[in-house]
Amino acid sequence: MGAGMAARLLAAGHEVRVFNRSPEKTAALVAAGALLADSPRAAAEGVEAVFSMVADDAASRAVWLGDTGALATTAPGAFAVECSTLSRAWVLELADHAAAQGFRYVDCPVTALPDAAAAGRLTLFVGAATDRLAEVRPLLEPLCDNIVRFGEIGAGTSYKLIQNLLGSIQIAATAEALRTAELAGLDLATVVDTLGRGGAASPTVIRASRRMLDGHYDRDVAFTAALRLKDTRIGVEAADSVGAPAALGRAARELLTGPVDAGHGDLDETVVFDLLHD
């Protein structure tokens, strides 16, 4: 996701510095004109905006904080745009760290798959003051075809966690539905085709059921089982924090724990279907 977003900023004519814990993953961006930095701090020095797209709270902390973190730079007034799916508690804490260092924080998780990131077709879920969004909008527009403001800092993350928890519930339910169809003796290809045309269909159900039918969980992995479990876990935590019911979220979390516990965290999230055969 981050590589696609950086490529869009390059294509829009911005000077882009990139950092990745695995430098080889930046090769295509460097070939396209990006400058490779050896730390988040070096990447962020003197810039107009810092964008982060990482896996979880721990990775976000490592990128932003500490002697080599992006917030250790001298970039007064720069935007700190966190696009990762993180816990709301960490987002609020990070916003305070950013403000203390003179950065203008923008809560900006995204939705869509990596091919959409590369094409600039993301949807951005923004939590920021209206005037701050207006200021940063020109930098966001190359990344997306839709920007939705949900409120102040933390609101974008709240919505993203709600959406992803609903997606986790749909993936878990799709796996159970297809396993039930198998056990009932139905032809799975026919079931998947019919599900995609019926009232229970959603983009998540259609995509997940097709991946489950294909069964090649190590190919073209767009979202791993480990990341899906992480999003489910922090989605349930977010629901708990506001006293919301999360029975289905907890059930999905329990089912989606299986692939990670079995050592399949790096495979596609839909590998959960295979574990229902054990």
Q: Do 146 and 178 belong to one domain? A: no
Q: Is the pLDDT reported for residue 169 higher than 80?
A: yes
pLDDT recorded at residue 242: 97
pLDDT tens digits, residue range 20-33? 999 999 999 999 99
- Chosen domain end from 118, 152, 186: 152
Q: Do 104 and 196 belong to one domain? A: no
Average pLDDT over residues 251-272: 98
Q: Do 39 and 111 belong to one domain? A: yes
Q: Do 142 and 17 belong to one domain? A: yes
Q: Do 172 and 271 belong to one domain? A: yes
Question: What is the distance, to the nearest Å, from the Cα of residue 219 to the centroid of all Cα atoms in its chain?
Answer: 19
DSSP assignment of the chain: -HHHHHHHHHHTT---EE--SSGGGGHHHHHTTPEE-SSHHHHHTT-SEEEE--SSHHHHHHHHSSTTSGGGS--TT-EEEE-S---HHHHHHHHHHHHHTT-EEEE--EES-HHHHHHT-EEEEEES-HHHHHHHHHHHGGGEEEEEEEESTTHHHHHHHHHHHHHHHHHHHHHHHHHHHHHTT--HHHHHHHHTTSTT--HHHHHHHHHHHH--TTSS-SSBHHHHHHHHHHHHHHHHHTT---HHHHHHHHHHHHHHHTT-TTSBGGGHHHHTT-
Average pLDDT over residues 173-188: 98
Give the pLDDT band of residue 112 (cuts 50, 70, 90): very high
Total domains in the fold of the chain: 2
- Chosen domain end from 108, 131, 152: 152
Q: Do 110 and 14 belong to one domain? A: yes
Which residues belong to the active site? 160
User: How high is the mean pLDDT of the chain?
Assistant: 97
Q: Do 31 and 127 belong to one domain? A: yes
Q: Do 98 and 208 belong to one domain? A: no
Give the pLDDT band of residue 74 (cuts 50, 70, 90): confident
Which of 12-16, 247-251, 274-278 shows the lowest per-residue confidence on average (mean pLDDT)? Answer: 274-278
- Chosen domain end from 133, 152, 171: 152
Q: Is the pLDDT reported for residue 206 higher than 80?
A: yes
Q: Do 39 and 77 belong to one domain? A: yes
pLDDT recorded at residue 87: 98
Average pLDDT over residues 130-149: 98
Q: Do 143 and 163 belong to one domain? A: no
pTM of model > 0.75 = yes
Q: Do 179 and 142 belong to one domain? A: no
CATH number of the domain to which 36 belongs? 3.40.50.720
pLDDT tens digits, residue range 220-244? 999 999 999 999 999 999 999 999 9
Q: Which domain holds residue 254?
A: 158-275
Q: Is the pLDDT reported for residue 278 higher than 80?
A: no
pLDDT recorded at residue 75: 83
CATH number of the domain to which 189 belongs? 1.10.1040.10
Q: Do 124 and 173 belong to one domain? A: no
